[in-house]
Structure 1
């Protein structure tokens, strides 16, 4: 548990640090990209709060708190799924934005703008709330103690009533099936376009750099594709297990949230949830690895408290 607690604090601080750095706007990224990355960082932070802190570990530290009242528990689970959908679909719209920016010169000037990014983020947020509003009503109290509904348990009718079956199918298609397919497809098309464009440009330049300086256009493309593939590729890898579990549930008699932890599907399901949570805290490290200006900003922010402490110590 101490290791888990340290991991939570570390990832929480990493997401907050990413939000602060992106808000400062000194990373050399366009306002459009910054808007997407900032929104993704906020959504990832919300996943960490609602799923990891308020759902997964609350029973270890606050086993008898108001967080376990059924209405509060149901609301928390609803917000959990809202934040997950926001995180997933913001990754999709960011991938699509980079696809347009790299592959379509005509649409780039009109689509890849801060205003379009703001609208896309607002639409994703609204649709995520609308899609998951019904989640609040699929839970019932696990027990009633002193007339207080306690904890959350999925209603048995959720697996039998046609309306809930249709909802589960729709939810599975929207997240994670469609995002998974779209991200893989858009990445494949983007990579193909960049490879072909680089071949043409390299051929026009005779396969050599001018004046021993690298081609700035090709360098920018490499940076764009590194950031894009790192973010969306990380998402795909960390979501693939839960994606397979969702597909399995739809075509077999297997059910989610079984209590038998010796069952192979339950082990895979819980592993998928763990990897899904991990995907909400990887982007900060991706930015740090792929963006030199982000690293410089991070060093500056970390150094400031140390410099202030040293200055006050020397003054005294």
Structure 2
């Protein structure tokens, strides 16, 4: 874990991120839960679960972690047990969000590239099971983080703040666990999502070429393809979500690889002139931004979602107007 920057720029960025992230994810959860967006129940389950975990990331990693440090540096959450719980909460929600994105990408890969498995795997029941297992595993995986910290200060027998125990720096078990943590999130998901997207694109290109040839022979070149058009929106949604994840996590992954290859340490503190600190903090900022982008993606790619969002805004402003009167 790192000490987030606490300058004015960070205060403004994380405040805006928290406000937008909370509102955007709550709106997404409500709209998708109503089931009026024309999406299958399987896709809807994944999108709702991703919105819930993104909302929890904003609460834990932005509001309770970064904004707390900036605006309220000394409160009960700053005690060693308090900040240890927040760290576990942040990591578990982050990992759940990442791996649910992988699960969604894999689900869409099977639906598009493996039609023989689609009817068995791409169902609402399977989605609920996968979501439950992913979230439980992510929570269990991050429990050890609670036990690696010790107090920085003891004031009136109360332990304050979190500092990694010195023994963990020389512990082989901890070093192995730390490596596994970095590989499982986000390196392995990054590779899996990239690979699944490449395979999906390859399949789509081959299938489209064959389908166009067959339809041209049967019906003439100017005939439309309703089946391909119906799949287009689902494909656009998949690529938008996974592409956004890859772009916003890229800096974090680059920083991780740089630290491992160069043998340097993660930057601690807030030296704005240190290139390592700039790369590291940009990685964290973009990583957290990924918890807010899916709402914009849905609004940009899904007509029915956009209509529901507009109706929600109208209802909200009408309510404000009535209360003002």
* Fold shared per TM-score above 0.5: yes
Alpha-carbon displacement from aligned partner over 1:170-222 (angstroms, at most 9, x marks no partner):
11221111101100000000011111111111111227343xxx422111232
State the shift of 1:64 in Å: 1.7
Counterparts of 1:137 and 1:256 in 2: how far apart (Å)? Answer: 21
Counterparts of 1:93 and 1:6 in 2: how far apart (Å)? Answer: 29
The answer to whether structure 1 residue 137 and structure 2 residue 150 are counterparts is: no
CA 1:80–1:3: 2 relative to 1, 3 Å? closer
Q: Partner residue of 1:52?
A: 62
Structure 1 runs of 4+ off > 6 angstroms? none
Unpaired segments ≥5 residues, structure 2: 1-10
Counterparts of 1:118 and 1:209 in 2: how far apart (Å)? Answer: 42
Q: Which 10-residue stretch deviates more, 253-262 or 56-65?
A: 253-262
Q: Which 10-residue stretch deviates more, 36-45 or 3-12?
A: 3-12
Alpha-carbon displacement from aligned partner over 1:112-166 (angstroms, at most 9, x marks no partner):
0001100110110111011111011121112222221111122233322101111
CA contact (8 A) 2:79 2:158 kept: yes
Counterparts of 2:304 and 2:158 in 1: how far apart (Å)? Answer: 53
State the shift of 1:5 in Å: 2.5
Q: Which 10-residue stretch deviates more, 60-69 or 174-183?
A: 60-69
Counterparts of 1:124 and 1:41 in 2: how far apart (Å)? Answer: 15
State the shift of 1:309 in Å: 5.5
Correspondence 1:75-90 to 2 at 5 A? 75-90=85-100
CA contact (8 A) 1:194 1:221 kept: no
Aligned length: 311
Q: Partner residue of 1:299?
A: 310
Q: Partner residue of 1:91?
A: 101
- Alignment match of 1:241 (pick from 246, 251, 267): 251
TM-score by length of structure 1 reads 0.93
TM-score by length of structure 2 reads 0.91
The answer to whether structure 1 residue 34 and structure 2 residue 44 are counterparts is: yes
Counterparts of 1:99 and 1:91 in 2: how far apart (Å)? Answer: 12
SS at match of 1:205: helix
CA 1:156–1:247: 2 relative to 1, 3 Å? farther
Q: RMSD of aligned C-alpha atoms?
A: 1.8
Q: Partner residue of 2:195?
A: 185
Q: Partner residue of 2:241?
A: 231
Unpaired segments ≥5 residues, structure 1: none
Counterparts of 2:322 and 2:143 in 1: how far apart (Å)? Answer: 52
Counterparts of 1:3 and 1:249 in 2: how far apart (Å)? Answer: 25
CA 1:110–1:151: 2 relative to 1, 3 Å? same
CA contact (8 A) 2:193 2:242 kept: yes
Q: Which 10-residue stretch deviates more, 168-177 or 65-74?
A: 168-177
Q: Partner residue of 1:267?
A: 278
Q: Partner residue of 1:277?
A: 288
Counterparts of 2:156 and 2:320 in 1: how far apart (Å)? Answer: 52
Counterparts of 1:224 and 1:163 in 2: how far apart (Å)? Answer: 43
Alpha-carbon displacement from aligned partner over 1:84-137 (angstroms, at most 9, x marks no partner):
100000000000000000001100000000011001101101110111110111
The answer to whether structure 1 residue 208 and structure 2 residue 218 are counterparts is: no
Q: Partner residue of 1:105?
A: 115
